[in-house]
With several copies, the nearest count.
Chain A
Amino acid sequence: MSDLSMVFEGAAGQGVQTITRMLLPVLKNCGHHVFACTEFMSRIRGGSNTTEIRVTEKPRQAYVRRIDMLFALSPKAHEHLDRRIDADTLVFAESEQCAVPAKGNCIETPVKALALEAGSPVFSNTVVAGMVLGLLAIPPEELDAFLHDRFQEKGEEIVLKNIAAARLGFEWGRKCPAAGSIKLPRIEFGGSAAELLMDGTAALGIGVVAAGCNFISSYPMSPSTGLLTFLAEKSDAFGVVVDQAEDEIAAINAGLGASYAGARAVVTTSGGGFDLMQEGVSLAGMLELPLVIHIGQRPGPATGLPTRTEQGDFNLVLHAGHGEFARVVFAPGTLEELIHLAQRAFAVAHRFHIPVFLLTDQFLLDAETSMEAGAIHRFPLEEAIVETGKEYLPYLFTEDGLSPRGVPGYGAGLVRADSDEHSEAGFITEDFDVRRRMVEKRLARLGPLREQALMPTVTGLIDNARTLVVGWGSNRGVIEEALDLLGDPRVAGLHFSQLFPLNPAVASLLGERKLIVLENNPTGQFAGYLAIETGKNIAGRILKATGEPFSVEEVLEALRKEVGHE
């Protein structure tokens, strides 16, 4: 087996995430590539949530529909996962806890009994983790350190009981007749590729901290709150000012006030909260203030499906805020890209004095993956603040439209920022000529922004390809894997992690190839934009809007259809 998919199902509050939290480091430390993704309901208790863990031969960052091993821990498991269970799925479930699914290869699994044997039903998750280790023939000692760390607060007794629970699970797993049929993938040479393990939110947070971010004001909103929490946790260590705003309008205006005063500011939100920030985006454009805006996308309209995933906010950010001014939109596709593009977002925002968007989504933010430490880079910070002179003009006309950036209290000058159309000094004006020049000033930077725009990443051999599968944001992993499985040299992939502006070289890269755009929204927003910008025809769109991520299987199937492999 080159690819093992395990799914852990449970009600909200049952803590099945602890199982994955136990298993992922163990698997990673054994030298495996691991990837996990999560889907959950908008409730705190009850319902049916799952986490999928993939152990793979090659690094993968995608969701598969197929389940090799399912631990079904809630009564709703069957109903929720029916579509994903097939005859090959090993279903571990306890008939007492959970209606055993009709399909699949069911194995009666005494989770509760063993937990009780260890002392209490609260040990259930640890029992399951032990079972998995037993089934996969991984030494149970690998778990001990984790159990120590996690439970030491609660006292030595609890730690020991957890260790005992894990051992009970392990023994059961080891002896389970199914054990023989589950094989872990081969470990890559050296077995140390996977040094780091983190989730998308942490990757984003690391990038933001690396960028020297020192201010966040935001209002909680799934799935974007993680960045606020991350920075709050790191606030002392990294000197980040953290303010929970009363609403999103306050958040972005506080961010802009901070930016005006010289902070490196970020705000985080999701589509609905971002709607409320749009006037602030327009203000950033007018005042020429750097600001990084993170949008964790989720399915709309309105409240929609608050805990699920979609890529529906591209058009929204592209045109957010009334009036015209320059902006940049990034959409990282992997956790590495999250770290890198968060840094780039700050660099671009501060070099060009503009709002810069980071588009992620629930799938990417909650995805957990192992990665090479060497693949993570820190980019040097550019400092762009000048000491003002007595005659400082915050909106000085210059050739490239960028005026030296002063901040209040630093230098002999005064810094005036005015949301009305303004003179070079920052005062309100109604002079038509100044107006015209200011409009041009605010747009002129799109020239260099285009030239410096990131090119898309190619998967496969583009020179031979007659078809290009185009994706953006969180779909990088699923496209790469599907193309790998498709193994058709006539088809290559192209992943955009910068969506706006596009590099002028993109058009020639696309050439005359057939373009298939894949995105997780109902109309193909980026496809439409790519067509205008490059003048190319989009031959096909692979779209989705159910709230679920694309699975490798469905993409493969869709590609087969598109390229006629059926």
Chain B
Amino acid sequence: MSDKQTRFDMPPHTDVAWCPGCGNHMLLTAVKEALDDLGIDPRQLVMVSGIGQAAKAPQYINANMFNGLHGRALPAALGIRLSNRNLVVVVESGDGDMYSEGGNHFLHAIRRNFDVTMIIHNNMIYGLTKGQASPTSPIGMRTPVQVKGVIPEPFNPLAVAIALDAPFVARAFAGDIAQTRSVIAEAIRFKGCSIVDVFQPCVIFNKLNTYKWFREHTCSLPEDHNPEDRMAAFALAIQHEPLPLGIFYRNGKRALYEDQAGITETPLYRQPPPGDDEFEKLIDAYR
């Protein structure tokens, strides 16, 4: 873990509830450093999450926090952004949270394309509830619930995002803090809905997808990959072996939801209520 100080650091001795050696620690470092790189003011940043081990991340970042319900980070993030578009909104949560309980919001957040960055801690397991399969668990993985091994096809967030024409789709590996940090910085800088699925080893419950496994089964995207090429991005997203890391897809052409919906710079909390004359006019229509 790097020792760089960031303005997003919490006071020393903050009790971090994650296990020693967990990939979450590295990802947290990468996120804080990326935020720092971008020079974001912590008071203008809202970290939004659901519930899970990953979803605790905002508790360890010096910024505003909305740690909501399991699976419901994205709608909350939408409400926040639409109410105050000056805020930087980052959603950080787990694979179960975002792809299982929150799967529907994942689809529809991408469809809207409001300015949010999703960082998904993809440990291919339910950590906080002690090791059941997540939507990204590999077929055959045994758990106390999946006694005969996982049956369903793993959810492929990148392929689905590209199918939805998500404008920024990337994958990183928490074990590589530097690259993760730079991909996350790019994603936050991107104006629109950006998705960063981050492979994150859970050292307690996932004995298959370890640091070693990820190192052996991942690679960089081909040097010549053009992220504006949707078909190429899709082909790489469905590639199984090895699993590429980096920015798969970028589509600068999608309009921003906030712009289309006419969201102004004035946050709603500053918006004056209708004047008495406006109210009178409203009533007048019913005379």
Q: Which residues of A contact B (CB under 8 A)?
A: 13, 41-47, 195-198, 202, 206, 209-212, 214-215, 217, 219-222, 225, 228-229, 232-239, 241-247, 249-265, 272, 279-280, 283, 287, 302-303, 306, 373, 376, 378, 381, 385, 407-420, 426-428
Contacts and interface: CB of A to CB of B under 8 A. Distances in A.
A257 B282 contact: no
Contacts of A418: 59, 65, 67
B86 A409 contact: yes
A257 B80 CA distance: 5
Interface string B118-156: 000000001111101101000000001111000000000
Nearest to B15: A46
A50 B53 CA distance: 21
B76 A220 contact: no
A254 B263 CA distance: 15
B147 A215 contact: no
Interface stretch (B38-46, B192-200, B237-245): B38-46
B67 A419 contact: yes
A225 B129 contact: yes
Interface string B56-97: 100100111111111110111111101110110000000000
A contact face: mostly helix, strand, loop, or mixed = mixed
12 contacts: A45-B204, A221-B129, A232-B145, A252-B75, A257-B77, A258-B83, A261-B80, A261-B87, A263-B269, A373-B283, A408-B64, A427-B59
Interface in B16-31: 17-20
Contacts of B82: 215, 241, 243, 254, 258, 263
A211 B273 CA distance: 8
B69 A279 contact: yes
B46 A243 contact: no
A196 B65 CA distance: 46
Contacts of A413: 43
B107 interface: yes
* B44, B70, B261 interface centre (most CB from chain A within 10 Å): B70
B68 A419 contact: yes
Interface stretch (B98-106, B219-227, B248-256): B98-106
B282 A209 contact: yes
B75 A210 contact: no
A215 B69 contact: no
Contacts of A272: 69-70
B5 interface: no
Closest 7 CB pairs of A and B: A262-B269, A257-B79, A212-B273, A257-B76, A258-B79, A253-B75, A254-B79
Contact of A381 (B48, B70, B79, B273): B273
Contacts of B104: 246-247, 249-250
B232 interface: no
B87 A214 contact: no
A247 B100 contact: yes
Given A209-B274, A233-B147, A303-B51, A408 B80 contact: yes
B271 A233 contact: no
Contact of B79 (A265, A303, A426, A427): A265
Contacts of B48: 257
Given A196-B287, A202-B286, A257-B68, 4 more contacts: A215-B82, A232-B144, A244-B132, A253-B69
A206 B283 contact: yes
A44 B128 contact: yes
A283 B87 contact: no
B65 A417 contact: yes
Contact of A283 (B69, B126, B274): B69
A234 B129 contact: no
Contacts of B287: 195-197, 373
Given A408-B46, A416-B65, A243 B269 contact: no
Given A249-B72, A373-B287, A414-B43, A45 B79 contact: no
B132 A225 contact: yes
Contacts of A42: 17, 128
Contacts of B17: 41-43, 46-47, 428
A303 B69 contact: yes
A233 B278 CA distance: 15
B108 interface: yes
Contacts of B269: 261-263, 385, 407, 410
A131 B132 CA distance: 35
A241 B263 contact: yes
B68 to A, nearest CB: 5
Contacts of A251: 75
Contacts of B87: 261, 408-409
Contacts of B283: 196, 206, 373, 376
Contacts of A409: 43-44, 64, 84, 86-87, 267
A395 to B, nearest CB: 12
Contacts of B67: 416-420, 428
Contacts of B3: none
B262 interface: yes
Contacts of B276: 378
Contacts of A196: 283, 286-287
Contacts of A252: 75
Given A215-B82, A408-B43, A244 B69 contact: no
A443 B276 CA distance: 35
Contacts of B66: 257, 260, 417
Nearest to A420: B67
B101 A263 contact: no
Nearest to A235: B147
B231 interface: no
B163 interface: no
A52 B66 CA distance: 36
B164 interface: no
B84 A246 contact: no
Nearest to A282: B69
B64 A416 contact: yes
A206 B130 CA distance: 22
Interface in B201-221: 204-205
Nearest to B144: A229
Contacts of A373: 283, 287
B147 to A, nearest CB: 5
B173 to A, nearest CB: 21
Given A44-B19, A232-B144, A246-B100, A222 B75 contact: no
A232 B76 CA distance: 20
B127 to A, nearest CB: 7
Contacts of B101: 219, 246-247
Given A196-B287, A206-B283, A261-B268, A253 B72 contact: yes
B83 A257 contact: yes
